[in-house]
Structure 1
């Protein structure tokens, strides 16, 4: 039986190292937030965060960063939501030029996602007020209007978008919202999944065989244990674990090729096995 409490009891040193890993990486911005923070208008920041969250799939962090920058350069300001909307071929051209390929499962849906986010903004023209007047749960429901944001629980892209909007900088935009006790599930990224399966509470079990609800429950409990002051810090940090970056894994790039990583004694992918 996979148990966070048992993991903490049986692996105190590894748990301590995991907490240190979270503390070391939690201030690193993901590519969606990085691009949004470059925009001066709050409405634009929110709109592009929603677009990036819907698009973020099956591409590396640097690739998504390049795509977001390229799309914004081609369609700046209110071009994401103003009429007339860009032609599908124009949007696809940006993707193809960015990736030098059409080989992406989302490629044929990118224009639809772009248009859908634009329609969402036209339905909610003051996005700052939209956030301020809604709880995260209500935002989660509204985001079902956006194509590829997901319609069935837990809708991870919608959850990720919300936390990017409300988390304090530099993790997110730190925008105001109507607070409530119930929050959407914390984002369960591929990096966090790897961590849970390789170094976390599921390392002695087959994480892949757990059903989605069990995976999410385990992740939420582990995030709370790692960062009780704000569990999103843990969810955010673990997304970088063994995630491809520009020159190898992002976590390597952020820890001097593993030499400064608290997990270097435990991770089989560590480049540096001991300190000198």
Structure 2
């Protein structure tokens, strides 16, 4: 695998197209933040961002968006954290009705996740103050209290939650923490993994077989190169790369079925290619 610096030197046109792809997609809504931002209070927005981040696993972006909307309709306002907590069957019923199935790897954990996020809010009743008074590192540690958020390093869901809370709108909630000089690892989504393996510095090597720490280091370096003003812009944009949406890949939906995609010359999945 070549270094990021060498890749940029060897593939200037592809790198330029990749930067254009990031610039084109970086303001596209994250499904969890999209739902959370519609809620009336800061506590709700933060709490549902945390819940959505933990639940976001092995389902498509539209699926998770629909599930969060349905859960909030069933348990509005402070019902996520107020007592008495909803019964497990009530929570599972919403999931089953939303997906028309119980076939989901997280299904048997959904109630526990819901209750755990509620308990977290009861422990930190003013979530805005919780964010404001803590560093990202302290937030990362606190988020280990939530079931299924992960307890050992690098805890990617906790990292993703922090970026969703702190990133400027519309990428995130635009909240301010105590000191953001030491941010956690940038989210390495499946879309970003595909991008690095197919169109990034790892395209000539087997990205899947690399050690997790090497994958994360490569991602961090390339995100910085793609969006030096805010590397999270790159991490955010690349999550949509070849990610399933409502009607095919999300990146296709956002680029007029590839017609407006800066990467169409390089992507083997492009529907529309430039003709001489």
Whether these two folds match at TM > 0.5 is: yes
2:188 corresponds to: 188
2:111 corresponds to: 111
Q: Residues 15-70 of structure 1: CA distance to partner in whole angstroms, max 9, x if unpaired?
A: 00000000000000111000001001000000000000000000000000000000
Whole-angstrom CA distance in 2 between matches of 1:49 and 1:112: 16
Q: How does 1:118-157 map to 2 (within 5 A)?
A: 118-157=118-157
Offset at 1:261? 0.1
1:218 corresponds to: 218
What is the TM-score normalised by the length of structure 2?
Answer: 0.99
Whole-angstrom CA distance in 1 between matches of 2:204 and 2:99: 38
Structure 1 spans left out of the alignment, 5+ residues: none
CA contact (8 A) 1:259 1:275 kept: no
Offset at 1:8? 0.2
Q: Residues 108-155 of structure 1: CA distance to partner in whole angstroms, max 9, x if unpaired?
A: 000000000000000000000000000111100100000010011111
Whole-angstrom CA distance in 1 between matches of 2:43 and 2:83: 16
What is the TM-score normalised by the length of structure 1?
Answer: 0.99
1:88 and 2:88 are equivalent in the alignment: yes
Whole-angstrom CA distance in 1 between matches of 2:6 and 2:112: 46
Greater mean alpha carbon deviation, residues 87-96 or residues 174-183: 174-183
Q: How does 1:261-272 map to 2 (within 5 A)?
A: 261-272=261-272
CA contact (8 A) 1:241 1:251 kept: yes
1:12 corresponds to: 12
Aligned residues: 276
Paired residue secondary structure (1:77): coil
Whole-angstrom CA distance in 1 between matches of 2:93 and 2:211: 38
2:257 corresponds to: 257
1:197 corresponds to: 197
Structure 2 spans left out of the alignment, 5+ residues: none
CA contact (8 A) 1:46 1:165 kept: yes
Whole-angstrom CA distance in 2 between matches of 1:274 and 1:257: 13
Offset at 1:181? 1.9
1:160 and 2:131 are equivalent in the alignment: no
Offset at 1:275? 5.9
CA contact (8 A) 1:257 1:272 kept: yes
Whole-angstrom CA distance in 2 between matches of 1:163 and 1:251: 21
1:68 corresponds to: 68
The root-mean-square deviation of aligned C-alpha atoms, in Å, is 0.9
